[in-house]
Structure 1
């Protein structure tokens, strides 16, 4: 089977790309997806949170949105007004449902196979399964499968978490506001922990315990941390309807975004994950839109870097500062939000600020420890 574009691995990045390709309506575009599970959500529901403006294409399927969020830092709680933006949350089911509809409109072919090898001869890519059999040939491959950094960085952490979707009989939650970071959780010896409270109604919420640290915890440790965090809020007798957990790399290691001439990585493997926060969803959307526009205008589907190089350097400095104990992450984030407009901080975390704005942001952090970390990372 010969196609113009093959999406290898079917997760959030591939789903968003299919959606944008269908919107672009490129005539006679031949598309295939290659994944052992086909066009499925792999049986694992996920939640994506992101910052957005007053209007968003995903508004009809959002689970919740908040014009303000609370940050519980070392010196107390701070309400962050996000206007004119919002903090929004969407679950994976409607995204994958839209991707299925997009695949139908595109006439995309589903190939249920593992792509064990991608053989790129410079003009096309042969996709071979585990037996060595060619299952497709594509002019371009977009590969969203996990990949290791080709060059290690100074720091390799994970953003790892467990969340409970809970329901209460009483109206316990304020659906107009979310808790973005609550650093009142016990802090690990190496790393940082915090809680989230993301209400979807007065009776339902996602309550999450998150760590930035080198390794995941045991199941019992996550459950113990979540139970303790709920006690902090005096949340008792809640029904746990669903459990959600995962791990996202946080590293200044270098990922190979284009491993061969016609193979392009997208999603986390393609640099969409912000090293200092683990946020990925907004960058995946940008990649998907850019790929669709490149194809629509007859150009190669090679998206630009998800984040400016200067941002990646600043992330490397921050990660090293936290990991080495030069700067405590709770104080770092608190100062960032205390001394800057929330809207500017959120644009920075999303990779959309100017150098002048970034100078002001960095000036609000503990300068001497950050300079020491910068010297070590530069060396």
Structure 2
């Protein structure tokens, strides 16, 4: 039987981030005993993936970054490039394997946080604490008792919502024969790909050298595609749009991210909290999650080290969630053309301000300045419609 003040379930971005912060207590801070419960190697452990986020200047995970950029570019459906310097922000690329190695090094030198490989089967919590029943890889039952539980495991089913779209993508890590990439600039959204009748599609290019890049095909819609469809779109994009010439695919990446206006329960039991995507950290309008995870886990770790109630704060401001609900509904209903909507925003709003807006870091006046640069009449019609829409269950990805 394992006893700890804190149990962290799942070792994705949120679980690893919280464990890392608990192991990095400031001098004089209250010490917190914690156990990170991670599934053994197998289908319940998430595959390698890439996280991108933006922050100002240096950050705590810079040692593990694959690359970072200050120049972003968007291509309109007609092919016009829109490029801007996002200083003082930096757009950063972090591979999950590199992040896990960085966290593992910190945990190896911590007396407060231990790691346990086991598959969680049940979690029962009340006002006094929680009991976690799990099973080790060899079939041995494991029980963990903790005062607080932070569960970052994916939800089996999404909460009921008025609108749920899926951001689904496939990416190729490529190495070209010719030096075709500009390693100083990210192509954040390239709309020079065929657009679906509803939703939108775009290319995404993260160059890590003159010959190397991650190239993705991404779509916002209500259903995923067959794998062959992603491969066809990537071949078309790399050959007909980017004109890369000869290249080899060194690795692949696939993902599905729910974009929903559902209300996520952050405290399913008095001593149990959900964090990360399961706790609503994914920004509904973009699918970005990593920055919100850092805000959540920083607040939780600070509260625990100070001896306060460690309830995670909302991942995004209420005003941001309300604006996202309008955008999702307008996109899903077909009232706005998705590619034109996003291309128009990047054309009319400085990218640095738009990124701060997408991260919930803008003031009301700045939010309004972004809002008036959207298709006003379709958005107002959607605002009037939303209160009358029922929230319905969604199977999710």
TM interval, short-chain normalised: over 0.9
Instruction: Kindly state the Cα deviation for residue 230 of structure 1 after the two structures are TM-superposed.
Output: 0.5
Change beyond 3 A, Cα 1:11–1:178:
same
Q: Is 1:80 aligned to 2:84, yes or no?
A: yes
Change beyond 3 A, Cα 1:55–1:109:
closer
Q: Is 1:99 aligned to 2:99, yes or no?
A: no
Bigger mean CA deviation after superposition, 271-280 or 106-115: 106-115
Counterpart in 1 of 2:166? 158
Change beyond 3 A, Cα 1:90–1:317:
same
Residue 187 of structure 1 aligns to a residue in which SS? coil
Instruction: Kindly state the Cα deviation for residue 41 of structure 1 after the two structures are TM-superposed.
Output: 10
Cα distance in 1 between the residues matched to 2:285 and 2:169: 15
Gaps of 5+ in 1: none
Cα distance in 1 between the residues matched to 2:168 and 2:244: 23
Counterpart contact for 1:36–1:114, Cα < 8 Å: yes
Residue 4 of structure 2 aligns to a residue in which SS? strand
Counterpart contact for 1:290–1:303, Cα < 8 Å: yes
Q: Is 1:128 aligned to 2:133, yes or no?
A: yes
Counterpart in 1 of 2:124? 119
Counterpart in 1 of 2:391? none
Please list the CA deviations of residues 213-266 of structure 1 after superposition, one character each: whole Å capped at 9, or x if unmatched.
111111101100100110211112111000011111101111111111111111
Please list the CA deviations of residues 339-378 of structure 1 after superposition, one character each: whole Å capped at 9, or x if unmatched.
2221111011111111111111101100000011111112
**TM-score in terms of structure 1 length:** 0.95
Change beyond 3 A, Cα 1:269–1:249:
same
Instruction: Kindly state the Cα deviation for residue 52 of structure 1 after the two structures are TM-superposed.
Output: 1.5
Counterpart in 2 of 1:5? 6
Cα distance in 2 between the residues matched to 1:96 and 1:333: 33
Q: Is 1:238 aligned to 2:247, yes or no?
A: yes
Counterpart in 2 of 1:197? 205
**TM-score in terms of structure 2 length:** 0.91
Bigger mean CA deviation after superposition, 341-350 or 21-30: 21-30
Counterpart in 2 of 1:300? 309
**Which of the numbers 219, 226, 230 marks the counterpart of 1:211?**
219
Aligned pair count reads 379
Cα distance in 2 between the residues matched to 1:207 and 1:136: 42
| Equivalent residue runs for 1:1-379 within 5 Å | 1-25=2-26, 26-37=29-40, 42=45, 44-75=47-78, 76-107=80-111, 108-129=113-134, 135-147=143-155, 151-231=159-239, 232-379=241-388
Instruction: Kindly state the Cα deviation for residue 92 of structure 1 after the two structures are TM-superposed.
Output: 1.1
Cα distance in 1 between the residues matched to 2:24 and 2:100: 15
Structure with higher strand content: 2
Gaps of 5+ in 2: 389-397
